[in-house]
Chains A and B, each alone.
Chain A
Amino acid sequence: MNWYGIRAIYKFEMARTWRTLMQSIASPVLSTSLYFIVFGAAIGSRMGDIDGVSYGAFIIPGLIMLSLLSESISNASFGIFFPKFSGTIYEVLSAPVSAFEVVAGYVGAAATKSIILGGLILLTARFFVDYDILHPFWMLAFLVLTAVTFSMFGFIIGIWADDFQKLQIIPLMVVTPLTFLGGAFYSINMLPEFWQKVTLFNPVVYLISGFRWAFYGVSDVNVVISLGMTLLFLLLCLTGVWWIFRTGYRIKT
């Protein structure tokens, strides 16, 4: 195992985060704070509890997931896309690092950033609403699992994208709508029955539901199913990454 190689990629990516602190950390924290002010404090104060949880507290897991998904994808996709774009990928390709080590470096750094961000949003939320964490271990487990899975998904997008537009298209056109419609701001039980069934095809529902369960012990779907779906998506991403390195898709000619 080339530990120094993994560390080099990880350190390089983390250094990029510190260089772009405003963009990587401050900006998502600010925009999430605005959500808390608008939906939690202003609108939320006029809304009733959902499943026995105040609306301001109810949206915390969904808002963290919203940032976690978009930032994991964006960090990991940009992390691998930029070396391809600038040509510096030659160095990674010619180095004695395995596919696993490359992914561990890039995905590890992207997931770390997202987890830090999730923690900061959680701390920020404390300024606006009161909340409890009933199952801290599972909260952390869902946080880490989701960050790793979507960082890996972002890595695949970064490999697939051959221009900046493609880099943005899946996060903006697919992931953000799925997150908004995945129960970030409401319980899917509030939807008409037909749409409740349709919503179950949205994978983000399982992530948010499981994460919310870790906070308040309430969920839209069974937590075991949530965990299973998260692991399934992780497996799909792992398969995608394995196939990319096996075939050299868009990284090797």
Chain B
Amino acid sequence: MEPIISARGVGKTYQGGFTALRDVDLDIRRGEIFALLGPNGAGKTTLISIICGIVNPSSGTVLADGHDIIRDYRAARSKIGLVPQELSTDAFESVWATVNFSRGLFGKAPDPEYIEKLLRQLSLWEKRDSRIMALSGGMKRRVMIAKALSHEPKILFLDEPTAGVDVELRQDMWQMVHGLRESGVTIILTTHYIEEAEEMADRVGVINRGRLVLVDDKRTLMQKMGEKELRLQLARPMNALPEALAGLPVELGEDGQQLIYHFDIRSEDTGITEFLRRLNDADIDFRDLHTRESSLEEIFVGLVKGAREESMEEESQP
């Protein structure tokens, strides 16, 4: 199936000479939730801003639902809704007026029934006549989402949607995002909260220093990149790792109560059988065992660190 967003060779160098994006190729599949991860200044917002028409690219092309974002900007932009990171709202406008303004701006005929439904979904209906300046931060965030959805877009960009949002609203937003995906909307979100990506995304892209380091299915990524550990709760605590376990990727937990065995799930032979055999031979008993997988956050930190070291190496080469 044709991707709903297709970026090829997208680069952005600002007037001051700072390169925010380098040769980014990215395909977003229809109907998926795609999480774009990266540290501050990695280029996430620049990429989104280019796709949405706010920033001009220095190079490359982007197609949104098959329409070039520059040559055929009307068709491309009408498919896209954007919730920016900053809470930029018309403080003196009412909720009803500002959401209707957004719908009109995107070329859609007034549809009070749809706007009412939208405001009800976002728990904003009771506040429809309130001025935006009188709303709480969380409510303002909902207004931003309502504005972005007012023209019934096929693609929704959420730039740090839950930054500064309380736990309850965050859960509500996650639910809403899942609901939108079920209705056929493709969602691209950037986030600092890795657990958010872990919870919501189908696929994950990691961007660092303007380069797209990787794009993969979240589960595959966690399987491929993730390290697993087998933790054994010992029947009797130990002071040091026994000789019998020498040469194995195993360590003794801080309290001496646990043996932690690291293994790579991609490997054909994880070595677990050998580890358990040696434990048996050395007469080491354990009361309990469980396995733990690396979190997306650990994978992300590893990737970003790796990319930084690589780039430093490149820079230091004569």
Residues of chain A from 1 to 60 with CB closer than 8 A to chain B in the complex: 2, 4-5, 7-9, 11-12, 15-16, 19
CB-CB under 8 A from B86, the residues of chain A are 87
CB-CB under 8 A from B107, the residues of chain A are 2, 4-5, 95-97
B56 touching A90 by the CB < 8 A rule? no
Q: How far is the CA of A11 from the CA of B77 in the complex (A)?
A: 22
* B53: nearest chain-A partner, CB-CB: A94
Q: How far is the CA of A9 from the CA of B103 in the complex (A)?
A: 11
Q: How far is the CA of A9 from the CA of B105 in the complex (A)?
A: 7
Given known A-B contacts A2-B74, A15-B97, A86-B91, A92 and B105 have beta carbons under 8 A apart: yes
Distance of A81 from chain B, by nearest CB (Å): 14
- Contact for A252 among B56, B92, B93, B147, CB less than 8 A: B56
- Contact for B74 among A86, A90, A96, A252, CB less than 8 A: A96
Judged by a CB distance under 8 angstroms, whether A239 is at the interface is: no
A90 touching B104 by the CB < 8 A rule? no
Indicate with 1 or 0, residue by residue over A233-253, a CB within 8 angstroms of chain B CB atoms: 000000000000000100011
Q: How far is the CA of A5 from the CA of B151 in the complex (A)?
A: 12
A96 touching B73 by the CB < 8 A rule? yes
Judged by a CB distance under 8 angstroms, whether A93 is at the interface is: yes
CB-CB under 8 A from A7, the residues of chain B are 104
CB-CB under 8 A from B147, the residues of chain A are 91
Indicate with 1 or 0, residue by residue over A153-171, a CB within 8 angstroms of chain B CB atoms: 0000000000000000000
Judged by a CB distance under 8 angstroms, whether B233 is at the interface is: no
Given known A-B contacts A86-B88, A90-B82, A97 and B54 have beta carbons under 8 A apart: no
* A87: nearest chain-B partner, CB-CB: B88
Given known A-B contacts A248-B56, A253-B14, A91 and B74 have beta carbons under 8 A apart: no
CB-CB under 8 A from A92, the residues of chain B are 105
CB-CB under 8 A from A95, the residues of chain B are 77, 105-107
B109 touching A88 by the CB < 8 A rule? no
B14 touching A96 by the CB < 8 A rule? no
CB-CB under 8 A from A96, the residues of chain B are 73-78, 106-107
Indicate with 1 or 0, residue by residue over B287-310, a CB within 8 angstroms of chain A CB atoms: 000000000000000000000000
CB-CB under 8 A from B73, the residues of chain A are 96
* B157: nearest chain-A partner, CB-CB: A94
Given known A-B contacts A94-B52, A94-B54, A95-B77, A88 and B105 have beta carbons under 8 A apart: no
A97 touching B91 by the CB < 8 A rule? no
CB-CB under 8 A from B130, the residues of chain A are none
A8 touching B101 by the CB < 8 A rule? yes
CB-CB under 8 A from A248, the residues of chain B are 56
CB-CB under 8 A from B92, the residues of chain A are 16, 19
Distance of A92 from chain B, by nearest CB (Å): 7
Indicate with 1 or 0, residue by residue over A66-96, a CB within 8 angstroms of chain B CB atoms: 0000000000000000000011101111111
Q: How far is the CA of A220 from the CA of B53 in the complex (A)?
A: 49
CB-CB under 8 A from B55, the residues of chain A are 252-253
Indicate with 1 or 0, residue by residue over A88-121, a CB within 8 angstroms of chain B CB atoms: 1011111111100000000000000000000000
CB-CB under 8 A from B82, the residues of chain A are 90-91, 94
Judged by a CB distance under 8 angstroms, whether B31 is at the interface is: no
Q: How far is the CA of A9 from the CA of B80 in the complex (A)?
A: 19
A97 touching B88 by the CB < 8 A rule? no
Q: How far is the CA of A19 from the CA of B77 in the complex (A)?
A: 31
Q: How far is the CA of A253 from the CA of B16 in the complex (A)?
A: 11
Closest 8 pairs between A and B when the two form their complex, measured CB to CB: A8-B104, A87-B88, A96-B74, A96-B77, A94-B52, A2-B107, A95-B105, A4-B104
Query: 14 A-B residue contacts at CB 8 Å?
Result: A2-B107, A4-B107, A4-B108, A5-B106, A12-B97, A19-B92, A86-B89, A87-B84, A90-B82, A90-B88, A93-B53, A94-B54, A95-B105, A96-B77
Q: A12-B101, A94-B77, A96-B107 known; 8 other A-B pairs, CB under 8 Å?
A: A5-B107, A8-B100, A8-B103, A87-B88, A94-B53, A94-B82, A96-B73, A98-B74
